[in-house]
Amino acid sequence: MQWCYIMDKYAFRQNESWFKRELHRNLSSSSRSCKKKYQPGHAVTAGMAAAANVKLEDAEKKGARFIFGGPGFVDATGASLKPTIVTDVRPDMKIWDEETFGPSASLYTFKTDEEAIEMANNSEYGLNAAIHTTNMERGITISRELEVGQVHINNMTEYDECKFPTQSL
């Protein structure tokens, strides 16, 4: 059995800018300690790293901002990318629809549940989604509007059972 869940898109309410600040602060400190033990962002091949970097460069050229990392390699091997957090991503950017398969994540903000649903459904793909909420009824209501194969509410996507149905609610 193969598990393939890449969570590289995160959406949160627009007024929650504290999340970006805390994320940057925590990543900065953990990145320093991790570098002592691990080579961050090492891809399986230099070609995979280059393909991920092209998506980041495309986003940068089209106006995305980076609150951590950005396009570029960690060392001269061409296979190690900087861990990256991207914001201000739009549908005309490759990273909107295409996974980088690299150490990057995109953050999206929304004002209303309807806007979040529209953003989530504005993709060619849609295997999984996760909703984290304090209101389970609201989470179920939103999940029914998402055009994805599986929706996880208040849980991480890797906690599945192969005997469960794999269709939307």
Q: What is the rounded distance in angstroms from the CA atom of residue 55 to the CA atom of residue 39? A: 21
pLDDT tens-digit map of 51-71: 999 999 999 999 999 988 899
pLDDT tens-digit map of 145-157: 999 888 888 876 5
Identity of the residue numbered 22: E
Structure confidence at residue 1 (pLDDT): 35
Structure confidence at residue 5 (pLDDT): 46
Q: What is the pTM of this model?
A: 0.76
- Say if CB 95 and CB 62 are below 8 A apart: no
The CATH number of whichever domain residue 53 belongs to comes to 3.40.309.10
Terminal CA-CA length for the chain: 24
Query: Would strands 84-87 and 65-68 be described as parallel, antiparallel, or unpaired?
Result: antiparallel
Whether residue 79 lies inside any domain: the answer is: yes
Structure confidence at residue 74 (pLDDT): 85
Mean predicted confidence (pLDDT) in 119-135: 86
- Say if CB 7 and CB 99 are below 8 A apart: no
28: confidence class by pLDDT, cuts 50, 70, 90: low
Whether residue 19 lies inside any domain: the answer is: yes
- On the question of pLDDT at 98 being above 80, the answer is yes
Instruction: From residue 136, give the alpha-carbon distance in Å to each of 106, 110, 139, 154, 156.
Output: 25, 19, 5, 8, 15
Whether residue 1 lies inside any domain: the answer is: no
Structure confidence at residue 50 (pLDDT): 94
| Domain interval for residue 106 | 9-153
Q: What is the rounded distance in angstroms from the CA atom of residue 78 to the CA atom of residue 67? A: 22
Ranking 54-58, 76-80, 116-120, 124-128 by mean pLDDT, the lowest is 124-128
- Say if CB 8 and CB 128 are below 8 A apart: no
- On the question of pLDDT at 168 being above 70, the answer is no
Which of 27, 2, 13 has its CA nearest to residue 131?
13
As for how many domains the chain has, the answer is: 1
- On the question of pLDDT at 162 being above 70, the answer is no
Whether residue 159 lies inside any domain: the answer is: no
Whether residue 164 lies inside any domain: the answer is: no
Structure confidence at residue 31 (pLDDT): 60
Whether residue 161 lies inside any domain: the answer is: no
Whether residue 162 lies inside any domain: the answer is: no
Q: What is the rounded distance in angstroms from the CA atom of residue 42 to the CA atom of residue 49? A: 8
Ranking 7-16, 20-29, 57-66 by mean pLDDT, the lowest is 7-16
